[in-house]
């Protein structure tokens, strides 16, 4: 049982106590019933007040995600950085500026016409990789975002995003550019923009991945 499920169970127990129950001898836990709303704005309100993991203790702002709620294309990164934590917006630092250029110059789509989110909604200290517990606690929020937005293609930016979305530990260098089934959605992993800032020689590979994404969008 993850933290979100514990919170839901605790909420239900408090309700039962309020209506008069003093004792329960059998509690049925339904793991997949988290009762998250099917409305993006209502979901955002829940996430903005989340304190389910340790990241909530060090964040300045929750970074829920932004973009077109009916986008055909969705980008999922790892987690907010320092600039994102300050502003509450995803991908607005140096890596975000590069991502915007990738979207607008190669895909020829306005940034506001795609949707951008992360595996975790709060900045990990010192930009470390989110832990398994942090990622799994936040994942139901991301999956509900994906369900509501219902994009045709998800681009997993980097190894961490790909691994936590799919559970697959294949190195990003081997899987990038491949099409992976994610329910009814096509998922395509590629390098994270921050990796490209450190390794500019890899930009050509991402350029080819983006051309593939562009073709797939045109085929829809």
Q: Annotate 159-193 with b (16+ C-beta within 10 A) or e (fewer).
A: bbbbbbbbeeeeebeebbbeebebeebbbbbbbbb
- How many angstroms separate the CA atoms of 44 and 20, rounded? 32
Q: For each of the domains in the chain, give its residue range(s) and CATH number, in order of start.
A: 36-219 (3.40.470.10)
- How many angstroms separate the CA atoms of 50 and 7, rounded? 10
Per residue in 51-94, pLDDT (tens digit) is 999 999 999 999 999 999 999 999 999 999 999 999 999 999 99
Q: Is the pLDDT of residue 29 over 50?
A: no
More confident call, 26 vs 60:
60
Q: Is the pLDDT of residue 164 over 80?
A: yes
pTM of the model: 0.86
pLDDT of residue 35: 80
Q: Is the pLDDT of residue 101 over 80?
A: yes
CB–CB of 52/26 below 8 Å?
A: no
Q: Is the pLDDT of residue 7 over 70?
A: no
């Amino acid at each position: 049982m993850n933290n979100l499920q514990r919170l839901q169970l605790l909420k239900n127990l408090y309700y039962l106590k309020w209506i008069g129950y003093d004792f329960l001898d059998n509690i049925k836990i339904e793991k997949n019933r988290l009762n998250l709303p099917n409305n993006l704005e209502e979901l955002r309100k829940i996430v903005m007040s989340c304190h389910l993991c340790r990241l909530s203790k060090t964040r300045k702002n929750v970074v829920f995600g932004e973009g077109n709620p009916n986008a055909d294309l969705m980008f999922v990164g790892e987690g907010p950085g320092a600039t994102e934590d300050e502003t509450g917006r995803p991908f607005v630092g140096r890596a975000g500026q590069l991502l915007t250029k990738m979207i607008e110059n190669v895909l020829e789509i306005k940034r506001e016409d795609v949707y951008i989110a992360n595996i975790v909604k709060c900045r990990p200290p010192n930009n470390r990789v989110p832990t398994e517990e942090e990622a799994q606690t936040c994942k139901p929020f991301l999956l509900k975002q994906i369900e509501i937005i219902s994009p045709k293609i998800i681009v997993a930016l980097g190894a961490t995003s790909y691994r936590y979305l799919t559970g697959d530990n294949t190195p990003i260098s081997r899987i990038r550019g491949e099409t992976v089934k994610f329910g009814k959605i096509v998922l395509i992993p590629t390098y994270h923009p921050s990796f490209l800032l450190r390794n500019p020689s890899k930009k050509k590979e991402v350029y080819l991945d983006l051309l593939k994404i562009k073709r797939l969008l045109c085929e829809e």
